[in-house]
Structure 1
Amino acid sequence: MLYSPIQFRNVELKNRWVMSPMCMYSCENGLANDFHYVHYGSRAQGGTGLIIVEATGVEPRGRITNHCMGIWNDEQAEKLQKIVEFVHQNSESKIGIQIAHAGRKGSTWENKQISIEEGWETVAPSPIPYHPTERIPHVLTAEEIKEIVQNFKDAAKRAVGAGFDVIEIHGAHGYLIHQFLSPLSNIRTDEYGGSFENRIRFLLEIVDEVNKELDENVALFVRISGTEYAENGWDVEDSVRLTKILKEHSVDLVDVSSGGNIHGAKIEVFEGYQVPFSSQVKNDADAKTGAVGLITKVKQAEEILQKGEADLIFVAREILRNPYIAVQGSFEMKEENFFPHQYLRAKISS
Structure 2
Amino acid sequence: MIKQLFEKGNIGHKITRNRFVAQPMEGNCADKGGSVSQLTINKYKNLAEGNWGIIIVEALSVTPTSLARKNALVLNEKNLDGFKKLVNEIKLINPEALILFQITHSGSISNPNFSEQVAISPLSEGRLLSTDEIEKIKEGFVKCARLAEEAGADGIDYKSCHGYLGAEILRPMNIRNDKWGGSWENRTRFLREGIEEISANRKRNDFLIGCRISMYEGMRGCEGTSAPEELIEDLSEQIALLQLLNKLKMDYVNISAGIPAKTPTLTRPVQSAALMYLHHLRYTQFAKQTLSNTNMKVIGSAYSILREDAFKVAEEMLSKHYTDFVGWGRQTLADPLMPKKLEYGESINFCTACSGCSKMMIKQINVGCIMFDEHYKRYWKENL
**TM-score w.r.t. length of structure 1:** 0.85
With over 3 angstroms needed to count, the CA separation of the structure-2 counterparts of 1:291 and 1:4, relative to structure 1, is same
Establish whether residue 35 from structure 1 lines up as the match of residue 39 from structure 2: yes
Shift of 1:182: 0.7
Question: In structure 2, what is the equivalent of residue 313 of structure 1?
Answer: 326
Partner SS for 1:223: strand
Unaligned runs of 5+ in 1: 108-112, 130-135, 334-350
- Give deviations 1:132-163, integer Å, cap 9, x for gaps: xxxx4222222111111111111111110000
**Structure-1 residue corresponding to 2:14:** 11
Structural RMSD (CA): 2.1
For residues 211-263 of structure 1, the C-alpha deviation after alignment (integer angstroms, 9 at most, x for no partner) is 23323221111000011123554213322210111111121111010111884
Q: Gaps spanning 5+ residues in structure 2: where?
A: 225-234, 347-384
Identify if the C-alpha distance between structure 1 residues 84 and 240 changes in structure 2 by more than 3 Å, giving closer, same or farther. Answer: same
Which residue in the other structure is 1:254 paired with?
253
Equivalence for 1:151: 140
Residues 8 and 19 of structure 2 are in contact (CA less than 8 Å); yes or no, is this contact kept in structure 1?
A: yes
2:119 paired residue among 124, 131, 139 = 124
Larger CA deviation: 254-263 vs 144-153: 254-263
1:179 deviation in Å?
0.7
Q: 1-side partners of 2:152 and 2:302: how far apart?
A: 28
Q: Which amino acid aligns with 2:251?
A: D
2:339 pairs, out of 318, 326, 331, with 326
Which structure 2 residues correspond to residues 170-189 of structure 1 after superposition, within 5 A? 170-184=159-173, 186-189=174-177
The separation in 2 between residues aligned to 1:212 and 1:316, in whole angstroms, is 31
Deviates more, 1:291-300 or 1:80-89: 291-300
Report what 1:243 is aligned to.
Answer: 242
* Aligned residue identity for 1:128: L
In 1, Cα distance between the equivalents of 2:87 and 2:243? 31
Query: How much has 1:265 moved relative to structure 2?
Result: 8.2
2: distance between equivalents of 1:152 and 1:218? 15
Q: Check 1:312–1:41 CA distance in 2 against 1; reply closer, same or farther (3 A cut).
A: same
CA distance in structure 1 between the aligned counterparts of 2:265 and 2:49, rounded to whole angstroms? 38
1:278 aligns to 2:284 (yes or no):
yes
Distance, in Å, in 2 between the alignment partners of 1:259 and 1:64 is 16
Distance 1:6-1:257 versus aligned 2 partners, 3 A rule = same
Look up the match of 2:218: 229
CA deviations on 1:32-91 (whole Å, 9 max, x unpaired) are: 1111111101111111001111101001134212210000x2231210111111222221
- Deviating beyond 6 angstroms after TM superposition, the runs of 4 or more aligned structure 1 residues are none
How many residue pairs are counted as aligned between the two chains? 316
Supply the distance in 1 between the matched residues of 2:254 and 2:104 (Cα, whole angstroms).
14
Structure 1 contact 30–68 (Cα < 8 Å) conserved: yes
Q: Contact 1:228 / 1:262 at 8 angstroms: preserved in 2?
A: no
1:342 match: none
Q: Deviations over 1:199-220 (max 9, x none)?
A: 1111112211222332322111
Cα contact 1:175–1:261 (8 A) shared by 2: no
CA distance in 2 between counterparts of 1:146 and 1:67 reads 26
C-alpha offsets along residues 1-42 of structure 1, whole Å, 9 cap, x if unaligned? Answer: 211112223321111101100110111310111111111011
Larger mean CA deviation between 150-159 and 54-63 belongs to 54-63
1:264, distance to aligned residue in structure 2 (A) = 5.6
Q: TM-score, normalised by structure 2?
A: 0.77
The verdict on how the C-alpha distance between 1:312 and 1:264 changes in structure 2, with shifts beyond 3 A counting, is: closer
